[in-house]
Amino acid sequence: MPHSYSPEKFNIETDSKNLEEKAFDNLKLILKKIPDVSIPKQKTLIKNIFDVLPGGSKIGFENYSPGRIPYVSSGSENNSVIGFVRPKNNKEITKAPAITVTAFCNANIQFLDFIGRGNGGSAIKTLIPKQKMSSGELLWYSSQINSQSWRFNYGIMVSLERLEKITVTIPPNQFLKNIF
């Protein structure tokens, strides 16, 4: 036989309080079953983890011959790569892996050696890890930098000094082991 609702059998003051207490007790039981995933949040400045370098080539993309080396500019699409060029000399090639950061704080990981756009305030900045890093660590720091892009615009572009002072959280070892 289906249950029917009977308003006279439900006492709003006592019964709703009992339901609330039961719900709260159930929530406590559920929360006890969730493992503790609190992670110590150690923070540091970008300059403590990376060498922060200016963009690179002062030669514009259009002045290169087509080639095999990615030319990284200040766009946000295609990992900021606008084409592939033949370098004028090997000194202008930046060794990968690295993170490039545009004037508006768009960080991208470069896994191939590349030529970075230099020349002026909108030039990219390059972060070279001071110690060997996994792909997971590079992704972690890149996303940490991207999360702070709200700080930058046409009036306040990323400079070497501003980039060095960005604070990031160091990735937890268990995160890197489980994810990457």
Residues 77-129: pLDDT tens digits? 888 899 999 999 888 899 999 999 998 889 999 999 999 987 765 689 999 99
Spatial separation of the C-alpha atoms in residues 48 and 136, rounded to whole Å = 18
- pLDDT of 13 reads 61
Task: Give the lowest-confidence range in 55-59, 145-149, 165-169.
Answer: 55-59
Asked whether residue 1 is domain-assigned, the answer is no
Residue 22 lies in a domain: no
Q: Where are the alpha helices (DSSP H) in 70-159?
A: 135-146
Number of independent structural domains in the chain: 1
CATH number at residue 164: 3.90.220.20
Q: What are the residues whose beta carbons fall under 8 Å from the beta carbon of 122, sequence distance 6 or more?
A: 74, 102, 103, 157
**pLDDT value at residue 121:** 57
As a residue count, the chain comes to 180
Residue 37 lies inside a defined structural domain of this protein: no
Tell me if 118 is assigned to some domain.
yes
- Total Cβ atoms within 10 A of residue 56: 23
According to the model, what pLDDT value does residue 12 have? 57
- So what's the pLDDT on residue 22? 73
**Residue 151 counted as domain residue:** yes
Q: What is the pLDDT of residues 28-70, one digit of tens each?
A: 777 676 665 566 678 999 999 999 998 777 788 888 999 999 9
Q: Is residue 35 part of a domain?
A: no
Q: Return the closest-CA partner of residue 63 out of 82, 79, 92, 85.
A: 85
d(CA 47, CA 140): 16
Give residue 176's pLDDT: 57
Q: How many whole angstroms separate alpha carbon 23 and alpha carbon 38? A: 25
**Domain presence at residue 11:** no
Give the structural domain span for 167: 43-179
pLDDT of residue 28: 74
pLDDT score at 74: 83
Looking at residue 95, its pLDDT comes to 94
Beta-carbon contacts of residue 52 (< 8 Å; ≥ 6 apart): 46, 125, 126, 127, 160, 163, 164
Task: Establish if 24 belongs to a structural domain.
Answer: no
